Amino acid sequence: MKTKLFYVLAIFTVLSTSGNAQEKAKRFSFEINGGPSVPTKELVEGIRMGFGFEGTFQYRLLPYAGVYGGWGWYWLSTESSVSENNMDYEETGYVLGLVFSHPIANSNLSYNLRAGALYNHIETENSNGEILDDSGHGPGFQLAGGIDISLGSGWSLTPGIKFNFLSGDTGLEGISKQLDYQYISARIGIMKRF
């Protein structure tokens, strides 16, 4: 028991001293980003480019590493010669992960890398906006990278790319089908540190 207590105190001491060295740097931030999404695998025939956005909070634990979490919405659509066959696929849900951010030389730029777990679901809608099926929430993952361009006063511009993967079952017209929903998204965002 004494050994465990010693390790816990040692970890808190290391974390607090590394935090004091970065006392001037702000630990919390909020980012909202969005942009076009391109499927990397044909989910269904005729799938085309879509759009989405995500809002995340970040907390810096160490000088270059932290955690992030948030909520996102992404939309992909199909295009068919028969308008009744057009479908929309909307992915919504939550993300929680780790972020690594490092300055680039002595500039106002830094790069960041993210890896996160998704807990999202996919809704299938017809051309009238009626929900035909919902995959239910399930696990997935997200990989992302980008640049942070400091604008001053705690504001940054955050362009980057992101890859999302989510797998789920759909049951349209009584036929069960596995959906491997994966896409790359080019994103541009704005971040505020506080």
Residue 82 within a domain: yes
- Count of domains observed in the chain: 1
14 in any annotated domain: no
Q: Which residue has the higher pLDDT, 179 or 165?
A: 165
Nearest Cα to Cα of residue 181 among 98, 69, 93, 91: 91
Predicted confidence (pLDDT) per residue in 50-83, tens digit: 999 999 999 999 999 999 999 999 998 877 655 5
Domain-embedded: residue 17:
no
Beta-bridged to residue 184, according to DSSP, are: 38, 163
Q: Evaluate if residue 18 carries a pLDDT over 50.
A: no
Tell me the CATH number at 78.
Answer: 2.40.160.20
In a domain, 108, yes or no: yes
Residue with tokens 């068919």: 80
Does the pLDDT value for residue 121 go beyond 90? no
Q: How far apart are CA 108 and CA 132, in angstroms?
A: 48
Average pLDDT of the chain is 83
pLDDT at 23 (0 to 100): 40
Q: 138 lies in a domain?
A: yes
Domain that holds residue 35: 25-193
What pLDDT, on a 0 to 100 scale, did the predictor assign at position 193?
95
First to last CA, the chain: 38
pTM score, two decimals? 0.78
Q: Is residue 4 part of a domain?
A: no
Segment 94-107, tens digit of pLDDT? 999 999 999 998 88
**Does 9 map to a domain?**
no
Please report the pLDDT score of residue 106 as a whole number: 87
Angle at 50 between CA 49 and CA 52, to 5 degrees: 145
Task: Report yes or no on 135 lying in a domain.
Answer: yes
Model pLDDT, residue 20: 39
Lowest mean pLDDT among 32-41, 54-63, 138-147, 171-180: 171-180
Please tell me the predicted confidence (pLDDT) of residue 116: 97
**Amino acid 109: pLDDT:** 94
In single-letter form, the type of residue at position 106 comes to N
